[in-house]
Structure 1
Amino acid sequence: MKALVINCTLKKSPEPSHTEELASQVAARLDRLGVQTEFVRAVDPAIAPGVVTDAGDGDGWPRVHEQLLDAEIPVVASPTWLGRPCSVAQRVPERMDATMSETDEEGRPVAYNRVAGVAVTGNEDGAHHVISGISGALADIGYTIPGQAWPYWHPGPGPGPDYLNDERGRDWAHSTGRTMADNLCGVARALDEHPLKTSG
């Protein structure tokens, strides 16, 4: 079983990413559960705007699309900016929207029988808003969202330090990340044994 973490940080590799560090806690637990996890930073492959699988020359999304189709468990990881998902975290679900018209060999949308989750960091409030927005988009596309399929971290009300610079709340965020990984893996394996069907 494979997972893909799409890190929507605004920072290009190899700059340290607070969001990637939190998502790595989820990946470590998935690894212990026998799930192979791959990371991609959405800012690195020059993803074009749009709601298509391939926007033409120079578009970096087709490779990410292939990685998504190869993974049973995608995780969208986003920083919080102004209490909202960052601009990159908006672009990723928009590009994923194209999969709603793609079907598997059973005629189901390709996101069916795959589970998804969200990881969020920020030095300000807004994590639950980010989680609900991205989770809702993923559910619309067809992914199953298990209960408590998110960890988040922020230092408290108002602006403050970043994840890598503050130990406060990390134990809770890491514990939540482990629970997220357990739930993602458990539901993914259940769907593998008892796949959802469409009525169409």
Structure 2
Amino acid sequence: MRALVLNCTLKASPTRSNTDSLADVVVAALERLDVKTTRIRLADLTVKPGVTSDEGDGDDWPEVHQLLLDSEILVVATPTWVGHPSSVAQRMLERMDAMISETDDAGRPVGYNKVAGVVVTGNEDGAHHVISEIAGGLGDIGYTIPGQAWTYWNKGPGPGPSYNETGEGHDWSHRTGRAMASNLVAVARALAANPVPAPPD
């Protein structure tokens, strides 16, 4: 089984990413469950604006699109900015919109029989809203969102330290991240055994 983790931080490598650090916990849990995991920091790529799977010369999205097709599990990791997912995460969803009209050999939308979860960091409130926005978009694309397929960390109201600057709240976020990984794998295995059929005419 394969998982793709798309980190939607605004920070290009090698700058340390709070979102990447929390995603580490989910990746480790997935790998303990024998899931082969690929990680991409989208800020390192040229992802052109658009709503197709290939926006032409210089667009790095086609490589990401192929990895999405090849993976049974998707983890979207995003920071919270002004109460919303990052602009990188929004562009990701816009590019994934093309998958709604793409079908596999059985006539199913290519997002069917794949599962997805969300990792969120931010030093202010808003994680549940961000999770809802990402999960709602992925559901539209065809992904199955298992129960409790998310984890987050935030400090609470007002400015303050980021995830990598404090150990406060990490135990809960890590425990929830491990549960997230377990639920993603369980539902992915169930869908592999009993796939969602193509929509009726």
The Cα RMSD (Å) is 0.7
- 1:98-177 matches, within 5 Å, as 98-177=98-177
**How far apart are 1:88 and its partner, in Å?**
0.5
Amino acid aligned to 1:145: I
Q: Deviations over 1:57-100 (max 9, x none)?
A: 11110111011111100111100011111110100011001011
Deviations 1:104-147 (A, max 9, x none): 11100000000001100001111011000000000000000000
What residue in structure 2 maps to residue 196 of structure 1?
196
Deviation at 1:185, TM superposition (A): 0.2
Alignment of 1:1-200 (within 5 A): 1-197=1-197, 198-200=199-201
Q: What secondary structure sits across from 1:151 in the alignment?
A: strand
**Stretches of 4+ aligned residues off by more than 6 angstroms:** none
- SS of corresponding position for 1:116: strand
**CA distance in structure 2 between the aligned counterparts of 1:61 and 1:16, rounded to whole angstroms:** 23
Identity of aligned residues (%): 63
Secondary structure of the residue that 2:68 maps to in structure 1?
helix
Distance in 1 separating the partners of 2:67 and 2:13: 18
TM-score where L is the length of structure 2: 0.98
SS of equivalent residue, structure 1 residue 43? helix
Secondary structure class of the residue paired with 2:120: strand
Specify the SS of the correspondent of 1:27: helix
Aligned residues: 200
> Any gaps of 5 or more consecutive residues in structure 2?
none
Give TM-score, length-normalised by structure 1: 0.99
Instruction: Give the superposition deviation at 1:155.
Output: 1.1
Whole-Å Cα distance in 2 between the matches of residues 85 and 185 of structure 1?
24
In structure 1, what residue type is equivalent to 2:18? H
Amino acid at match of 1:180: M
Q: Distance in 2 between matches of 1:103 and 1:117?
A: 22
In structure 2, what residue type is equivalent to 1:96? M
Shift of 1:158: 1.4
